Structure 1
Amino acid sequence: MKILLIMDPGIPVPPLTYGGHERLVYMFAEEFTKLGHQVSLLAGPNSVVTGKVHAFGSNNLKRSKWQKTKELLFVWKFLSVNKKNFDLVHNFGRLAYLIPILNISVGKIMTYGRPVSKNGIRIITSMPYKNLIFTACSDYCVGTGNVAGLWKTVYNAIDFSKYQLQEKVNIDAPLMFLGRLDKVKGVHHAINIAIKSGSTLFIGGNIPDTQDNLEYYEKMLKPFFDGKQIIYLGALNDHEKNKYLGMSKALLFPIDWNEPFGMVMLEAMACGTPVIAFNKGSVKEIISNGENGFIVHNEEEMLNILPKIATINRALCRATVEKKYDIKIVANDYLAIFKDDK
């Protein structure tokens, strides 16, 4: 089968550090190739996969509206010229990319990793269309956009072979926070938990570049970075994430928003590291209390549950998610959706 994967420019595929969807697209491209399919990728400059890459646009997350318009026109031209060259177009980018092939027979999967614009779904499904399936990375995320069309939940994935299980850590091992240092990610909650519990806290993630979040970082996070108890590690690559997650007794995920999925939870569990998370968004779909972590509602509950982390079997923690979220499983889930719709 000939498969075209589409990803917005802005961050190359695969990303060097931050870039959740770009990482997913790379893994799917490689897994589809291993399964014997011919894979092409339409993505930003410097993208690399085993299949054929068609680069377009600019790797700049702050690029102008005019630049994004030019990118849209490029994709429209590409799809118009090559619409008969693919059996499946799997789009992780803008929904509008699909307009030139909306009403032709080629299979189309539109995948979302964040809350969905209902207006966009209504507009697209008001047009004539064929063989279009919408997917999102959690039941929660599907629920944000399921106003028209055919929807399926297909969870995000990681390559478990890239993560090393650490079956034992010391009782005084560090806690960890991993993610963007934005206010909605709740880094300040993690710092409070570490200080109140007397624990060391590793923090890995990008420093914000938006004005409100940069101010949050400067006032509410940076003053606590002492290099001894609260240790900021910077933006981590895959090797570093594997190292520090494996050293930690728990990942803290104290989100202040409805996270559509949260791949860092899987990355932690793949190392055997359980997750303690606030009950928002997709958290209850991923965490099984007492098996791979705990779901709580506030800082007090998070602090009180810390002693129970030692009761979790770290090998079982990994096993509970590997059988559901490994890239081999999820890639076949997507192919099954396409085949079922034929």
Structure 2
Amino acid sequence: MKIAQIAPLMESVPPRMYGGTERVVSYLTEELVRQGHDVTLFASGDSVTQAELVACAPCALRLDPSVADPIPYYMLMLDEVRTRADEFDVLHFHVDPLHYPLFRPIRERTVTTLHGRQDLPDLPALYRRFGDMPLVSISDDQRRPIAHCNFVATIHHGLPLSLHRPTFAPTGGYLAFLGRICPEKRPDLAIAIARAAGLPLKIAAKIDKVDRAYFHETIEPLLAGGGVELVGEINETEKTRFLGDALAMLFPIDWPEPFGLAMIEAMACGTPVLAFRRGSVPEIVEDGVTGRIVDTVEQAIAALPEVLALDRQAVRRGFEARFSAARMAEDHGRLYQLITAQIPPAQVGPLPLRAAAVDVRRAVDFPLAPTGLQFNGNSLANDGVPG
């Protein structure tokens, strides 16, 4: 199958440091190539891939000081994809809604993975206008604000099994926080939990320009209290040791997390996760197996001893069973088959999220994956708009 993967240009694929979407696009692209697909990656020129690379900017836009406005680069990329569209069976977009007007006429050969939160006030009008564009969610929870949109699958992220070596006897003696320093990730709560537990905390995190005021006003004063080390951004190799040596990873988020790649990165290292019940967390963490899910700081402090006592080999096994890159690529392969099969429009109107799995199996004659992928019936060709 000939597949185009259209990636964001802000980071390379894979990114040098932080960059969740670009990292997932990389894992998916490489695994699709390994599984025998003919893949073309539209991305920045400093990307590294076994697929055919179409460089749409010299390097990652975030790292190029000469770039003042990213939009022209995206317009050039989308025009290049449009020019070559007939070469591909499937066009898989990872650039939010930028391509909707241009590719709507061939939407039956496209799919768009939504990587961000969908509860923002500016989005409803967009989805009313483009309610026929086929969408993939990265968690079921991500769908809730726009549940009537044209979702064709939920596919959880995955990592290569060899990416992180698990550590079953950690020696670091600290708790870990990995991600971004921003209000929704709540590093302040991670600090509070660690201090209440009497354990050191290491924070490996990126600070975006928009979050610098939050860092200086809220987080920086907390660092003066001792017991907290700000490591900064780390790369993939450093991440294995950082997470593997940790006793547990704290994930005290305060927003509707669409997926939370850091959770499965920790699990890959055998490190249990203590997470707040927000967004995708209940879909990702197996409570009592790969971590604990709590609702408050007080519950987190009380649950921490149990988290530290979890079997790290079981944590790794949970990761391998549910979140491998191979499973993620196989799920996408099944979705691409559905797209190329060109299922006719449903005659009975939009179907409930779970109810149409049997119809899809009959239509394309393959079993659904036990985890990660849930199809939403024949809505791929449904022209209805969300309510």
- What secondary structure is seen at the aligned counterpart in 1 of 2:98? helix
Query: What residue number does 2:54 align with?
Result: 54
CA distance in 2 between partners of 1:259 and 1:330 (Å): 19
- Decide whether the 8 Å contact of 1:4 with 1:88 is kept in 2: yes
Alignment map for 1:96-245 (pairs within 5 Å): 96-104=98-106, 107-116=109-118, 117-125=123-131, 133-169=134-170, 173-210=173-210, 213-225=211-223, 229-245=227-243
Partner of 1:281: 279
Cα deviation, 1:273-316, whole Å, max 9, x if unaligned, reads 10011111111111111101001111111111111123311111
Structure 2: unaligned runs, 5 residues or longer = 342-387
1:268 partnered with 2:266 = yes
- Structure 1 segments of 4 or more deviating over 6 A? none
Q: Which residue in 2 is equivalent to 1:259?
A: 257
Q: Comparing 72-81 with 200-209, which one deviates more in the overlay?
A: 72-81
8 Å CA contact retained: 1:115, 1:145: no
- 1:25 matched to which residue of 2? 25
Paired residues of 2:9 and 2:74 also in contact (CA < 8 A): no
Gaps (5+ residues) in structure 1? Answer: 127-131
1:72/1:97 contact within 8 Å kept: no
Q: Distance in 2 between matches of 1:267 and 1:318?
A: 10
Paired residue type of 1:32: L
Match of 1:107, as an amino acid?
R
Residues of 2 paired with 1:110 and 1:101: CA distance? Answer: 11
Question: What are the within-5 Å matches in structure 2 for residues 74-113 of structure 1?
Answer: 74-104=76-106, 107-113=109-115
Report the 3-state secondary structure (helix = DSSP H, G, I; strand = E; otherwise coil) of the residue aligned with 1:42: strand
SS of equivalent residue, structure 1 residue 5 = strand
Query: Are the equivalent residues in 1 in contact too, given 2:4–2:88 (CA < 8 A)?
Result: yes
Q: Which amino acid aligns with 2:84?
A: N
> What is the alpha-carbon root mean square deviation over aligned residues?
2.2
Q: CA deviation at 1:64?
A: 5.5
- Once the 2 structures are TM-superposed, how far is the Cα of residue 198 of structure 1 from its aligned partner? 1.1
TM-score (norm 1): 0.90
CA distance in 1, matches of 2:24, 2:327: 13
* Structure 1 Cα separation of the partners of residues 236 and 23 of structure 2: 11
Higher RCO (CA-CA < 8 Å; seq separation 6+): 2
Query: Relative to structure 1, is the Cα distance of residues 160 and 118 closer, same or farther in structure 2, using a 3 angstrom cutoff?
Result: farther
Measure, in 2, the Cα distance between the counterparts of 1:292 and 1:310.
Answer: 11
Q: Distance in 2 between matches of 1:284 and 1:92?
A: 24
Q: CA deviation at 1:206?
A: 1.0
Distance 1:81 1:106, change over 3 A: farther
- What SS is found at the alignment partner of 1:102? helix
Distance 1:214 1:80, change over 3 A: closer
Contact 1:181 1:205 in 2 (8 A): yes
TM-score normalised per structure 2: 0.80
Q: Distance in 2 between matches of 1:316 and 1:190?
A: 24
Whether contact under 8 Å (2:100, 2:130) holds in the other structure is no
Q: Is 1:133–1:152's contact at 8 Å kept on the other side of the alignment?
A: no
Q: Partner residue of 1:129?
A: none
Does the 8 A contact of 1:324 with 1:330 survive in 2? no
Q: 1:246 aligns with which of 241, 244, 247?
A: 244
Aligned to 2:375: none
Partner Cα distance (1:114, 1:105) in 2: 21
Would the aligned equivalents of 2:13 and 2:44 in 1 still touch at CA under 8 Å? yes
Please give the alpha-carbon distance, in whole angstroms, between the structure 2 residues aligned to 1:6 and 1:81: 13
One-letter amino acid of the structure 1 residue matched with residue 147 of structure 2: N
